[in-house]
Structure formats: structure tokens, C-alpha cells
Amino acid sequence: MNEQFQQALSIIETLKRHGHEAYFVGGAVRDYLLQRPLGDIDIATSAHPQEVMSIFPKTVPVGIAHGTVMVIERGVSYEVTTFRKEGRYEDYRRPKEVTFVSSLYEDLQRRDFTMNAIAMNEHGDIIDPFGGTEALKQRMIETVGDAAERFNEDALRMMRALRFVSQLGFSLSTKTKQAIIQYGHLLQHIAVERIAVEFEKLLLGPFMSKAIDLLIETNLFCYLPELATKKRELAQLATYSIVPTHRTEAWARFAFVVHFHQKELKKWKLPNHFIRDVLICLKALEHIRSLSDWTVDTLYEYGPYIPHIERIRAACKHDEPHVHLLLKRWEALPIRNRKELAINGNDLLTLFERKAGPWLATMIENIERAVLHRKVENEKEKLKEWAVCNQRRENNC
Ligand code: ATP
Ligand code: MG
């Protein structure tokens, strides 16, 4: 068992001391067996949420209705979820209420894929009733039980299957793939926000190309917001090999390639501030494309976004990104933003003894450009002098 599990061991031991069963489950066990870095550690237990809350001193009831309590131990939080099976599924979505059950087996049975339905006890023994370890060996994504039935219960699982393809590079079992082809349309019943979470993970995965190819092959892309007519563009996205390092970069690259603008991004119900960041990247990419390279002005305008934009530019041109070099060029600019100007609006109002007006914004912009292009040093007295000369020049015109 690795260090992260060792640290979480005390939770399992405490639950057991109180007479309950408890196991590590889900993604962490899968990733541990694959020797990948672990995400959050999840624990499944026979203890009911109220019992979990009474046993541990620091808990947060994050999803009591679904049986989940967050337990905080030495600053690390763990999701402790009561063994459960899901109630009746309505409209192909996750059920609203769940039923607590007493056996680990039933809890594992309700999970999506065999590789995600493996448990591990406090000694590191693996409990794997559905052949998850074999699936890991075969690098195969396979539903627990009948694929058609499982996707009919919760259609989001089809998106999850493809995001795991992107993260792990695994293949879909024949039955799983067939069921996606047959039931892809059920994705229409799923909240866009939930689809976006899985799609974002797909965009960020090292095997994104494989997942996009499958998205096309299974026709699942037809049921993603604003993508039904974008088959050709998506296929283009699958040819890019640079793995995005940030969600803004991932979405901006996607949006750039499939020609998404604000309207389409809104359909994905992404938060407004996030859409704003993506749109800045898109504007920069258009700008750079028209200039064919970075300039002093584009470096200045898009400074904090340089790493995202440069990696997208390089991916789309099948080129090497020069992030480090560009950041150096950006840092070497006389100023990185307007706040770094050695003169401000008040200084200019005093200097020209004039009331504020549109002239002031123009003046500041002129000074900013002059400093950026090294026509004048960023020093207050020199800027004042330059401003007066500039004003005279303009008046003479
Ligand atoms: P990650 O490492 O990306 O978090 P994960 O496998 O832990 O991957 P989660 O979304 O955190 O994925 O879900 C935790 C576990 O809950 C899964 O491993 C799976 O067993 C189960 N699970 C999650 N979503 C579903 C679903 N829609 N249907 C069935 N089981 C699910
Ligand atoms: Mg997880």
C-alpha cells in the first residue's frame, strides 16, 4: 500500500473498531493498481452517515442524501460513503434517492465500470467480484453488468467511458461500444453541466485523440451541445498531440478548432468568467494567426495568457511551443500592464490643468504605446515631457 493509503488507513481502522465494514473503493484503487498518481481517496462503509459523523471529530455532510460524509483527518479530506444501491432511475439520470445496503458486493455492483468496482481492505487485499483487475490488465473499459441496461439507467456513463479512454488510453469492450452506438441519444436527458465535467476531463487527457475518434465513431458527438454539425472539425482536433496543461487551454483549443464563440460556449453552461478567459485566448489566436507570429503588441496585450495561447498555436500548427522564450520576451518588455506606467490619470489632469474627458484615455494609451515601443523611458518626468510634446504635435496637426 502506498503512503496516501497508509495515511487514510486510520479511517478504515476506526470504522472497523466501531463494528463497521470499510474499504477503499473507486478511482484511487484503480489508479493504485495501474501505478498512476492517485486522486481523491474514497471509502465505502456499512456505517450510516449519522454514525460516520458521530465517530469522527471533523466531518462535513457533503451529500447526506447520497450517503456521503467528508471526513477530515490531518488536513486531508476523504469521502466516506455508505454502501448503497441506487433507487429507481428516472429519465436516464442518476436517481434522486438511494437505498443503503449492507453488503460491499451490492455497492460495487452499482458502479459504472469493472475497473471502478474494485475494493481494497486495510491489509491491501483486493476484492474484485466483477473482473476489474482483469479489465485493467486488458486495458479494457467494460460496464458492470449489461451495458445497454447500465447506460439506460444513467446515460452520463457513456461520456464517462470516453473520458476514461482519454485519461487511460484504454479501449472500449465490444459490448460497451455497441451500447454507446445504440443509446448515445439518451445523453440528451443529461444535464449539460454534468456532461461538461466529463468532456473537460476528456479534453485534458493524454489520449484525447483516441477518445475524440471514438466520440465520432460512436456518433456520441451528435448529442453534445452545438457539435452535431462539427464532425470534420472534431476530427481535426484528434490530430493534435500536445496535451493541454490547463482547463482554459483545453477549452480554448477546442473552441478554436470547432469554431465556437460566446453563443456556443454558453450552451455548455460554462461559468461567465471562464468563458471570458476562453474568449481572450480565441481573440489572441485570431490576432496571432493574422500576424503569423507574436509581436510586442500581442505579447503585451495577452501577457498572462501566453502559455495557453502559445501551446494552442503550436498544437494547431504541429509545431513546438516556445512558452519559455515568449515569457522571457514578455518579462523584458518595458511594462507588462498599464498599472506599471510611471504616470497616471491624476498626474496628467494636473499637468494639463484640464477636466477629465475622452482626451485622457487617448493620452494614456499613447503614452502606453510609446513606452512599450521604447520611444520614451518609463520615468515620470520624461513621460510628462513626452506628453506635453505629444499634445503639441497633435494640436499642430
Ligand atoms: P477520478 O480519478 O477522475 O476521480 P473516479 O473513478 O474516482 O475517477 P469519480 O467521478 O470520482 O471517478 O467517481 C468515483 C467512483 O464512483 C467511480 O470510480 C465509480 O465507481 C463510481 N461512479 C461515479 N460516477 C458513476 C456513475 N455515473 N455511475 C456509476 N458509478 C459511478
Ligand atoms: Mg474520484
Of the listed ligands, the closest to the CA of 38 is: 1
CA of 72 to the centre of ligand 2 (A): 16
Of the listed ligands, the closest to the CA of 160 is: 1
Report the share of the chain in percent with pLDDT over 90.
88
pLDDT digits (tens, 9 = 90+) for 374-392: 999 999 999 999 999 988 8
Q: What is the pLDDT of residue 214?
A: 98
C-alpha cell at 220: 456520441
**Cα dist. 12→54, 270, 351 in Å?**
15, 37, 71
Domain count, the chain: 4
pLDDT at 397 over 60: no
Segment 336-358 mean pLDDT: 94
pLDDT digits (tens, 9 = 90+) for 175-221: 999 999 999 999 999 999 999 999 999 999 999 999 999 999 999 99
pLDDT at 235 over 70: yes
Q: Both 22 and 124 in a single domain?
A: yes
User: How many CB atoms sit inside 10 A of residue 381's CB?
Assistant: 10
Of the listed ligands, the closest to the CA of 167 is: 1
Nearest CA to ligand 1 atom 26: 112
Q: What is the CATH number of the domain that holds 18?
A: 3.30.460.10
The sign one gets for the Cα dihedral 74, 76, 77, 83 is negative
pLDDT at 362 over 70: yes
Q: What is the CATH number of the domain that holds 146?
A: 1.10.110.30
How far is Cα 367 from Cα 390, in angstroms, rounded to an integer?
A: 9
Q: Both 121 and 4 in a single domain?
A: yes
Average pLDDT, the chain: 94
Q: Both 319 and 283 in a single domain?
A: yes
pLDDT at 87 over 80: no
Which of 89, 121, 137 is the last residue before a domain boundary?
137
Of the listed ligands, the closest to the CA of 116 is: 1
DSSP assignment of 194-241, as one string? Answer: HHHHHHHHHHHSTTHHHHHHHHHHTTGGGGSTT-TT-HHHHHHHTT--
pLDDT at 340 over 60: yes
DSSP 342: S
pLDDT at 79 over 80: yes
Q: What is the pLDDT of residue 292?
A: 82
Which of 137, 156, 189 is the last residue before a domain boundary?
137
pLDDT digits (tens, 9 = 90+) for 15-38: 999 999 999 999 999 999 999 999
Overall residue count recorded for the chain in this entry: 397
Q: Both 357 and 286 in a single domain?
A: no
Q: Both 222 and 258 in a single domain?
A: no
CA of 41 to the centre of ligand 2 (A): 7
pLDDT at 304 over 60: yes
Segment 288-299 mean pLDDT: 90
Report the share of the chain in percent with pLDDT over 70.
98
Q: Both 126 and 2 in a single domain?
A: yes
Q: 41: domain range?
A: 1-137
pLDDT digits (tens, 9 = 90+) for 244-274: 999 999 999 999 999 999 999 999 999 999 9
Contact 384, 351 (CB under 8 A): yes
C-alpha cell at 269: 453552461
Q: Both 132 and 28 in a single domain?
A: yes
Q: Both 212 and 299 in a single domain?
A: no
Q: What is the pLDDT of residue 96?
A: 66
Q: Both 255 and 300 in a single domain?
A: yes
Q: What is the pLDDT of residue 301?
A: 95
Q: What is the pLDDT of residue 211?
A: 98
CA of 38 to the centre of ligand 2 (A): 9
Q: What is the CATH number of the domain that holds 386?
A: 1.10.246.80
pLDDT at 1 over 90: no
Q: Residue 271: which residues within 8 A CB-CB, separation 6 or more? A: none
Contact 299, 326 (CB under 8 A): yes
Q: What are the start-end ranges of the E strands in the chain?
A: 22-25, 42-45, 59-63, 68-73, 76-82, 84-86, 98-100, 119-120, 126-127, 140-141, 171-172
Q: What is the pLDDT of residue 97?
A: 72
Q: What is the pLDDT of residue 92?
A: 74
Which of 333, 363, 383 is the last residue before a domain boundary?
333
Q: What is the pLDDT of residue 313?
A: 93
Q: What is the pTM of this model?
A: 0.91
Residue with cell 497508509: 6
Q: What is the pLDDT of residue 394?
A: 78
Q: Both 170 and 66 in a single domain?
A: no
CA of 29 to the centre of ligand 2 (A): 10
Q: What is the pLDDT of residue 50?
A: 95
Q: Both 162 and 229 in a single domain?
A: yes
Q: What is the pLDDT of residue 290?
A: 87
Q: Both 132 and 143 in a single domain?
A: no
CA of 222 to the centre of ligand 1 (A): 24
CA of 307 to the centre of ligand 1 (A): 31
How far is Cα 122 from Cα 107, in angstroms, rounded to an integer?
A: 18
For ligand 1, what atom is nearest to the CA of residue 157?
27
List ligand 1's pocket residues with C-beta within 6 A: 26-27, 39, 42, 111-112, 116-117, 154, 156-157
Nearest CA to ligand 1 atom 16: 26
The β-bridge partners of 44 are 23, 81
Q: Residue 134: which residues within 8 A CB-CB, separation 6 or more? A: 114
